[in-house]
Structure 1
Amino acid sequence: MNSFVELSDKLIESTIEIFTGMVMMDISSAGEPVEKTGTHKKSITGMVGLAGTHKGILAVHLPNEVALAVTSSFLGVDVGEINEDVQDAVGEIANMLGGNLKTILSDRGRDIQLSLPSTIFGDEYTFSSQAESDWLILPFQSPNGMFYVEVELER
């Protein structure tokens, strides 16, 4: 990977592809990367860890109303509350994005392993890593609001 600019372009393309092809939802990039997401309020975050030649984390941060719409579209049923279905759907989206990131960062993904996806959610929380890392936070617009895809890679 030559730069975070190249990573950014490929991750935007990958995110749009996953949402249009798997989630059946049209989304778009919402501008330049942001510095930080701050405190997440009434949100859910899905994440996967990366280990190997690149160490870090990929996370997707969705406000509850976006997560409900995404899950409803993904599963083809109306979902009205944050439950196991939403956690599973958001975790699976993080897993798909992590798989694409793995391929972007390495030669066909052979030298990077992904953790199982996990989720956190709540009325208010912050998301940060303890490692010295570079990060990229990409904003996206969905029909139900903004969400973010974040990548943190150890230096």
Structure 2
Amino acid sequence: MNLIKLLAALCAITLMASGCGRDEEPAVAPSGGAEAQAPAPAGVIEIDGRTWNVVADVQCSVMPGPVVSIAGHAAEDEAVEIVIDYNGAEGPTGVSVTKPDGTVDWTAYASMNFQIERKRVQGAGYFTGTTRGVQKQAEGRFDVDCR
């Protein structure tokens, strides 16, 4: 008789745990029901009078050395790719703002001056770009904080 009571109790517990007889509850988002928000811009880059807000959603790091690796896109247009790399005299250093369709294409390499303070990276220099097949140079600057 005790075995039957034990089995009945286990069945009752299993049914309660599985939610038998209850209405389905709506799923709750992990953030407490709030919609997911896009990452906040980490800074700005300005070239030839045009400004892009930098969303460093791929990588944003400042390491000892200093070595800077920032990669992401423009908040205004996710297709605009932004990359900022600084490796001092030891490796490649440069900044690029490009769009695969060719409507945005700016690069700067050795012509950049970098100022690095903790996680904040600032720089300025001359960029080379292509506009409608014509190559031109323009001044540019950036200010990004890898918080």
TM-score bracket relative to the smaller structure: under 0.3
From the CA coordinates, give the structure whose radius of gyration is larger: 2
TM-score by length of 1: 0.24
Tell me: higher relative CO, structure 1 or 2? Use CA pairs within 8 A at least 6 residues apart.
Answer: 1
